[in-house]
Amino acid sequence: MGKILVTGANGQLGSELRKLSNQLNKYEWIFTDYQELDLCDLKNLEISIAKINPQIIINCAAHTAVDKAESEVELSDVLNHQSVAVMAKWSHSNDCKLIHISTDYVFDGTASTALTESALTGPINVYGVTKLAGEKACMEENPYAIIIRTSWVYSSFGNNFVKTMSRLMQERDSLSVVNDQIGSPTYAADLAQAIVTILTHETWQAGIYHFSNEGEVSWYEFALAIQENGGFDCLVSGIPSSAYPTPARRPQYSLLDKTKIKNTFGVVVPDYKVSLARCMELLKEA
C-alpha cells in the first residue's frame, strides 16, 4: 500500500484532508505536524521523509502568520521556501508526486481582472516573498510538481476570518471591516476535495493552478455574508485599508482565475456563499 504524507496536518486544510482521506483508502495516509516532522530541521528533513517513504506528498505546512512574518523573516523563509526545496528535491529523486500549497499573496494586488497562473508575480510582504521563493524552488527541484495557489482560507477548524467574525458579531454592537481589498474566500473543505479530485484523475498534469471559491468580494462584503448567515445583530461598516494599518501590506486585488484547474482536472468550484453556509452549519452544530 502506497503512502500519502500530509504536512501541516493540524491546520485548516490538513484537518479537512483528514476528513476526506477515506475517499482514497488504497493509500495509507500519514498526517504530520511539526511534532512528527519538523520542517525547520533542514539537515534531517530528507532523512525523515525517506523513513516515511511516501508515494505522494501534500505540503500544507507554512508560516501563515502574515503580520508576524514581517519580523520572523528567517523562520518564514525556512518554512515557506527552504523546506519546500528539500521536499521537492526528495520527491523528484524518489518518483514521488508532490502537491504544494501556495497563495494569492505572490501577487502585488494591482490587477483589476481575475489573475491567471501566468500573471506577473510581485509580492509586497515577507510572507508573499517567501511563498514565491518556495514556488520557484519547488519547480526548479521538481518540474513534475503541482502547485495550488489559494486565498482567504477558512474552515470549521483552526482560527480564521469566519470564526473570528462570528464571535465578534455576537460580542459587539458594531464592527469595522476593510472594504478595499478584493478577492475570493476559500472553504478549506472545497480545496481538500479539489486535491482528492486531482489525485484520482487519470492523468497527472504538473504546473501551477489557482483555486478559491467562485465570487468576487471585499472582506467587508464577506463579513456581511457571514452576518446574514448567522443572523447576527451587529452594525458592520466598511473602512479603507488605510484606517486599519497592519505590519504587512495586503494585495488590494487578488481574485484568482480558476479556469485552468476546472478544465484540466474537472474540479468543481462552488460559489462562496454556498460553501460559507455549509461551514457555518458545522460551526452551529459544534
Per-residue pLDDT of the chain (286 residues; tens, 9 = 90+): 899 999 999 999 999 999 999 999 999 999 999 999 999 999 999 999 999 999 999 999 999 999 999 999 999 999 999 999 999 999 999 999 999 999 999 999 999 999 999 999 999 999 999 999 999 999 999 999 999 999 999 999 999 999 999 999 999 999 999 999 999 999 999 999 999 999 999 999 999 999 999 999 999 999 999 999 999 999 999 999 999 899 999 999 999 999 999 999 999 999 999 999 999 999 998 7
3-class DSSP string for 51-88: HHCCCEEEECCCCCCHHHHCCCHHHHHHHHHHHHHHHH
The residues that bridge with 182 in the sheet, in sequence order, are: 218, 253
Annotated catalytic residue: which of 27, 34, 127, 144? 127
Query: With b meaning 16 or more CB within 10 Å and e meaning fewer, what string describes 238-260?
Result: beeeeeeeeebbbbbbbbbbbeb
User: How far apart (Å, rounded) are the C-alpha atoms in residues 5 and 247?
Assistant: 34
Q: β-strand 3-7 against 235-239: which pairing, if any?
A: unpaired
User: How far apart (Å, rounded) are the C-alpha atoms in residues 57 and 60?
Assistant: 9
- What is the number of H-type helices and E-type strands within the chain? 11, 12
- For 103, the grid coordinates are 497563495
Model confidence, pTM: 0.97
Q: How many CB atoms lie within 10 A of CB 1?
A: 7
- The string of DSSP letters for 165-231 reads HHHHHHH-SEEEEE-S-EE--EEHHHHHHHHHHHHHSSS---EEEE---B--EEHHHHHHHHHHHHT
Pick from 260, 266, 199, 261: nearest CA to 6: 199
CA 114 remoteness from chain centre: 17
Topology (CATH level 3) of domain 3-160+184-214+254-270: Rossmann fold (3.40.50)
Pick from 83, 82, 81, 85: nearest CA to 106: 81
- For 18, the grid coordinates are 483528514
Residue ranges per domain, the chain?
3-160+184-214+254-270
Question: Catalytic site residue 27?
Answer: no
Q: β-strand 153-154 against 207-210: which pairing, if any?
A: unpaired
